[in-house]
Structure 1
Amino acid sequence: MTALTGTVAPLYAAFADVPHPGRVDGCTNCCISEEELAVLSSRNREELSAADLRSYGANAPDTVGAPGDFQYFLPRLLEVSATGELNWPDRSWVVRRLRFVPWRDWPDPQRNAVRAYLRAWWLQALTSILPTDDPWEVLASLTEVEPEVAWDDYLTLWLASGRSARCWLARFVNEHLTGLMLNRAWNSFARRDSGPVLLSWLRSGPPGRALMEEYEHDPDAPEAQAFLAAAALLVRP
């Protein structure tokens, strides 16, 4: 079990009282078939396969279903995304569907369970030996579904998650700092106003010091020069 799949059981517990929608409607011209809608309408979420949820996960809840439907199916949708059973839509696409629902106004247990999943997903992208997600797309997706006030928590987690996460930080600085300074979009899925927030955080002091610490810890490591280059960029006027 990974940290991400470990958040699935709490999701089911938090959403246990959400009733089955009974009937799910949607655009059958190009988004989902009548047969797929019938499966969603007749089966409990635990019985749905990744194939059953593919069209729904790609289009809910803007052209398929309603926000209440999404609230019911979300634990299973996030589960098959976490296990890798659902290869399309990918995890980033599924998570970004949250922007269509007022999930931050849901009851505390539901909101907290979703946020635990998002944190575990971000941590997995930063620390896995063989990452299955592009960390930049994960971060961009988080800026889309989380309010700015919550971003600091994910950035703090970035610094606190060990050398692998800081390798990604050095790479991000080396690849994107100049673009951020020129107010260019750093990812096609990111909220446009996330750039200035990221730039301010990167140049706030702790990220640069963390990168220099990693360099000084092992100056002969293969990634040492990337740490040094990134740290130098962050302290440059």
Structure 2
Amino acid sequence: MHAAIENLYATFAHCRIGDDFTGCDCCVGPEHSEKLAAPPLRELTYEDLERYSRKAMSTWGNVRHFKHFLPRLLELSIEHRDDFLDLAVVFGKLKYAQFDSWPQRERDSVDRFFCEYWEYQLDEPIVGAFEDSVDTVLCSLASALSSVQRFLDAWIVKRTDNATRHLAAFILNNSDTLLTKGCLSNAFWDTSGQPHAEVINWLQSDAVYRFADGPDDPVLVDDFAYAWSQLVAIRSALTVTEM
């Protein structure tokens, strides 16, 4: 991912912080802005930027300022995925900043990072069947982008043990709400949006059904084994919901 991160810094290097970086008078003092504006961008820590990540553009700075900090925010999301109040808020700032209207070079740079970040998440070893790391990242990508189909397509062709276990965990983490409400469980999903519909349709696809080797898949042991029966039930429940 190093090359993708370096590309972000190069792409957004023209977005200088300037002398107009201020926030809402009631909650962001000049000293807070100065603390972020003074150091070199790469030296800012998660602790430095966490508060800004929640307030960016809504009550602190503008789109240019957000673009200035974006490479560092995305870089920090690798190590601090679960430390931010919610990664969906951080990534969702892209939609707030009307990312789809940005220059092509900027969009391509962010897309490159997201694709490599997704591959990194799918390759990451998973500890338990109810670990929600991939669930968090997929929902966060959906908060930023108008479509997540390419990430689902990349998942289904990545036939590795880790990718299979991540799929099992994703199914188990979402099974209750999928079975009872026909939607994904993370509260940051826009259930009326295209990304949510893409995931729902994907879960019903034959490609997902064939991804694992049935209930006896040797990769899906212990709690992971419950994912197969849950997937069968989810497919049935979603079909009934659509009728």
The question of a shared fold, defined as TM-score above 0.5 by the shorter chain, is answered with yes
Instruction: Name the residue aligned to 2:55.
Output: 59
Residue 157 of structure 1 aligns with which residue? Answer: 154
> Closer, same or farther in 2 for the Cα pair 1:21/1:85, shift >3 Å?
farther
Distance 1:82-1:68 versus aligned 2 partners, 3 A rule = same
- How much does 1:146 deviate? 0.7
Distance 2:184 2:220 in 1: 34
Q: Which one of 94, 100, 106 corresponds to residue 98 of structure 1? A: 94
Rate the CA distance shift 1:133–1:201 in 2: closer, same or farther, 3 A.
closer
Which whole-Å CA distance do the structure 2 matches of 1:222 and 1:26 have between them? 50
Could you say which residue in structure 2 is the equivalent of 1:200?
Answer: 201
Cα 1:112–1:214 shift into 2, 3 Å: farther
How far has the Cα of 1:218 moved from its partner? 3.0
Q: Which has the higher contact order (CA 8 A, sep 6+)?
A: 2
**Mind listing any 5+ residue stretches in structure 1 that lack a counterpart?**
none
* Deviation of 1:26 (Å): 0.4
**Equivalent residue runs for 1:35-46 within 5 Å:** 35-46=31-42
Name 2:23's counterpart in structure 1: 26
TM-score normalised per structure 1: 0.80
Per the alignment, residue 167 of structure 1 pairs with: 165
Percent identity for Structure 1 against Structure 2: 23
Whole-Å separation in 2 of the counterparts to 1:86 and 1:34: 29
Query: In the superposition, relative to structure 1, how do residues 219 and 74 fare at CA in structure 2: closer, same or farther (>3 Å)?
Result: closer
CA deviations 1:85-112 (Å, max 9, x no partner) are 9944564432222221022222222112
Distance 1:85 1:206 in 2: 29
Aligned residues, how many? 230
1:105-148 Cα shifts (integer Å, max 9, x gaps)? 22222112212222233333333125797222221111111103
* Unmatched tracts of structure 2, length 5 or more: none
Secondary structure at the aligned position of 1:117 is classed as helix
Aligned to 2:74: 78
- Aligned twin of 2:182: 183
Match of 1:127? Answer: 123
Judging changes above 3 Å, is the alpha-carbon distance between structure 1 residues 124 and 223 closer, same or farther for their aligned structure 2 residues?
A: farther
- Which SS does the other structure have where 1:111 is aligned? helix
